[in-house]
Amino acid sequence: MKIHPAAASLILLAACAPRVYHREAQRPVAAAADAYACATREARRLGYELRSPLPGESFSAARVRPGPADARYPVYDYLVVEILDGEGSAPVLRVGAVTLAGGDGGVRPHFRAPLPATEADRDALLDACAPAA
């Protein structure tokens, strides 16, 4: 069986592509400003520290995961919250969850698939700020 060179190139390219760990969920909201304020409150209630806030638009939030005292680098639960304009319709609250490792101790920050607890936090934030209809 012979593999076409273009097919072989695509297979090689797919093998080299970075993995996507960021897992998102989104729901429409009645008012963008209310959803943003709710999301910041809920993230803080869940123990996250807000980072890079763009008031009314987006923020990221991180929470250090407990680990052994001799761990080489810290691991964080990480949420990314965005309020998107719903083209002609209601605004949308989008929340992404991922695990962030490194950033200290000389280890370059890198992302991993979110832990179930991080995805549960994402869902709790959405349930609180954009209840399903």
Mean of per-residue pLDDT scores for the chain:
79
Window from 7-11, 19-23, 92-96, 123-127 with minimum mean pLDDT: 7-11
E strand or H helix at 94, and its extent? strand 92-101
CB 34 within 8 A of CB 41: no
Domains within the chain, CATH numbers bracketed: 21-129 (3.30.310)
- Whether the pLDDT of residue 40 is over 50: the answer is yes
pTM of this prediction exceeds 0.85: no
Which tens digit of pLDDT belongs to each residue from 42-86?
A: 999 999 999 888 888 899 999 998 877 777 778 889 999 999 886
Confidence of residue 111 (pLDDT cuts 50, 70, 90): confident
CA separation for the pair 80, 69 (Å, rounded)? 27
